[in-house]
Structure 1
Amino acid sequence: MVDPFGARRWIERGTVKGQRNREGKPLGADFGLGGADVVTLNEVRDRALEYRRLATQGINPRYNVRQEIPCFEEITRQVHIERSPT
Structure 2
Amino acid sequence: MRILYFAWLRTKIGTSEEELAPPPDVATTGDLITWLRSRGPGYADALANRAVVKVAVNQDYVGLDHPLSPNDEVALFPPVTGG
Q: Is TM (by shorter chain) over 0.5?
A: no
TM (norm. structure 2) is 0.24
TM (norm. structure 1) is 0.24
| Greater relative contact order (CA < 8 Å, ≥ 6 in sequence) | 2
Tell which structure's C-alpha radius of gyration is larger: 1
